[in-house]
Amino acid sequence: MNLMTKTGKLLLCLTLAALSAQAAAQQVFFGEDLNTGGTARLAATPNADAARDAFLARLAQAGTNTGGAGTEDFDGFSDGTTAPLPLTFGAVTATVTAPSGMVTAVAPGANNGDGRYPISDPNYWDTDREFTIDFSSPVQGLGFYGIDMGDFQGRLSLRLTLEGGGFQDVDIAHTLGADDASVLYFGVVSLTPITSATFANSTSLDVFGFDDFTVQQFVPLSGSGDASIPSLSHLGLILMAGLLGLFGLVSARRS
């Protein structure tokens, strides 16, 4: 085997290892329950609930601190409350900023007439525009229910602002053209601390409902006994080992 072949294989292994570590640095949880017609609430949301349960179990596995995880259900606000909206997630507080949108209340078991309704009665967040949640301290996990998304071809997208600069766009593969009153759950657990989250809608023709946001304050996963997500130092060691191996091959070839 010549030096170029050895080098190519080493670089391939190094790249695959780095990509594997990067993929493991963020875990996504998604479940969707589609309505079969009408605007009535779904009687059950097993797929969304299973995604929520998996997300919450992952947060527990990642470890908690004094504040742990907290859920905001919007039930502490009056019907019609608009942004800026102060939210509370245990030890973490946050502020919603948005050009439009409001807290909406409906009667238990009912919907707003267009297929949107709360998961936890009586309130939910209702909006057709982009909105941002700024956290008082960095978080490592963010999850939420979405109601009546995509019936008018609106695509929900999520951008996470990361501590230290930069951002990450996260795909949310929900169904477009679904009937009214469909429900999804989406959760993400990140190795890198998240300082804010921006939710965007690809068209103002579609109106989205949100409820039961869950957030967990950031805890460094390395040293928490969690081996399923490598720390950034582990990734650095992978890269260093690969470079040292490459240096060794070159030295052996020259000697």
Amino acid letter for position 205: L
Q: pLDDT at residue 55 above 90?
A: yes
Closest CA to 218 of 192, 199, 188, 196: 192
Phi and psi, residue 117, nearest 5°: -165, 165
Mean pLDDT of the chain: 82
Structure confidence at residue 37 (pLDDT): 80
C-alpha 171/C-alpha 168 separation (Å) is: 10
Model confidence at 98, in pLDDT bands (50, 70, 90)?
A: very high
CATH of domain 26-238: 2.60.120
Q: pLDDT at residue 59 above 70?
A: yes
Domain boundaries, the chain: 26-238
Tens of pLDDT, residues 181-226: 999 999 999 989 999 999 999 998 999 999 999 999 997 644 433 4
- Other CB atoms closer than 10 Å to residue 211's CB: what's the count? 24
Task: Specify the 3-state DSSP secondary structure of 120.
Answer: coil
Closest CA to 207 of 144, 135, 115, 118: 115
